[in-house]
Amino acid sequence: MKQKIKKRRQNFGNILTFVTALIFSSFILENGFAQNSSPIEVAVNPEKLELTQGKTGEFSVDIKIPQEHHAYLNEGDEGFFIPISIKFDTKHFSSIKVEAGTRPVGTREDYVKAQVLRGEGKFPFTITAYDHFEGELLIKVMSQICNDITKICYPPKQHKLIVPIISKHDSNYKGNVKVNNLAETETSFSESPLSIGMIVGIILLIISLGFLFNRLGGKSKNISRSFGVVLLIAAMFIMSKDLIPLMNGNGNNFHKEEFEQHGNLTWHRNFDDAIEKAKKEKKPVFIDFYAYWCSNCLAFRELSLSDKILNSALQSAVLLKVYDTDTIFEDFKMKKEYSLLNIGLPFFALLRSDGTFYWKTTKYDDVTAIDEKISELLSNK
């Protein structure tokens, strides 16, 4: 009897471990280890959709941008920016049609060469149900905003809204049931920054730990641990396919490329190498903290070549580019001088030739200040 009770407890423990792993992995998939959140408000008006079979209703997705910030309504002339994107998940409804109305026009900003949205914007939609049902409509809004004063851009943020929807039966409706039509804006995004391989690997890793550290006895313990080792090896193998390319391409200590050439500017990709050269040549180190989602980072990249004063100033310093995917990026974020990295990008720092901090800015287009600060360090060497 005691053995049966013990066995049931062991089985319960294994089931609990498996369920915990599923819950944790679902959390990862849902949130994608998302860091930061842009201060933007999103709402649906009305909050509940009540439709009549075969008839068209209206609703809007209302977006409020905080003061001294802007969002993008298009990708810009050079395709740098991430515009507001709205998508609908109607996979649970086989007879619904959503169509987009006229988007807000916004204003044209010549300095970023794009249409931007400030204040509030209303995105209208029409919705038609060809059958009667009751359920929930999932709306996904992707956006990115930038600060007008500091020039910092927040990482792209996805908002998820769940709207109750009821379609009442109409006995006079004689139409045919139509397959749903997803309405969306120009740009679509993935649900999670984690790859499928990483997600599966994490799930297997957690499950393997459950088998490795259980309280079984005798042969059952050995079998369980053996199975746990197999799962652990499988998890590491699957995750390595994503980790190895990451380390080779993005990790600061695993660069295949030591330099990155952009026009007449040569950017170091290794911090220690940049400091060593700066000490040898007695030059300041200019760091560009960079991300592909950062529109102002891309703008600085172009400005560094097109502006003669900025280009000349950068040529007189040792240049270092740090991507947001580099391992050293996280190390910088922990230091108080670089705390703004926890908010967004761009961010630029100027170091003395010995590697000590000297100056920082988030304004990518403040050419005068960058030129003056580099000149100060050169004159004091």
Domain membership of residue 9 as a residue range: 1-32+192-248
Q: Tell whether 341 is covered by a domain.
A: yes
pLDDT tops 90 at residue 69: yes
pLDDT tops 50 at residue 275: yes
Domain harbouring 322, CATH code: 3.40.30.10
46 with 157, same domain? Answer: yes
Q: Tell whether 53 is covered by a domain.
A: yes
Q: Residue 26: what are its φ and ψ, rounded to 5°?
A: -65, -40
Count the domains in the chain. Answer: 3
204 with 277, same domain? Answer: no
Q: Tell whether 85 is covered by a domain.
A: yes
198 with 278, same domain? Answer: no
307 with 331, same domain? Answer: yes
pLDDT tens string 277-307: 999 999 999 999 999 888 889 889 999 999 9
Establish whether the linkage from the previous residue to 46 is cis, with ω within 30° of 0.
yes
Q: Tell whether 180 is covered by a domain.
A: no
Gap between the Cα atoms of 213 and 9, Å rounded: 15
Q: Show the CA angle centred on residue 338, arms to residues 268 and 377, nearest 5°.
A: 60
Q: Tell whether 178 is covered by a domain.
A: no
- DSSP per residue, 344-379: -B-EEEEE-TTS-EEEEE--TT-HHHHHHHHHHHHH
Q: Is 348 exposed, middle or buried (0-12, 13-18, 19+ CB in 10 A)?
A: buried
227 with 287, same domain? Answer: no
**Of 215, 248, 281, which residue constitutes the final position of a domain?**
248
Structure tokens at 335: 């230091």
pLDDT tens string 9-42: 555 555 545 445 444 444 444 444 344 444 789 9
Name the residue with higher pLDDT: 197 or 155: 155
pLDDT tops 60 at residue 249: no
Q: What is the pLDDT of residue 314?
A: 97
Q: What is the pLDDT of residue 173?
A: 58
Q: Tell whether 72 is covered by a domain.
A: yes
pTM beyond cutoff 0.75: no
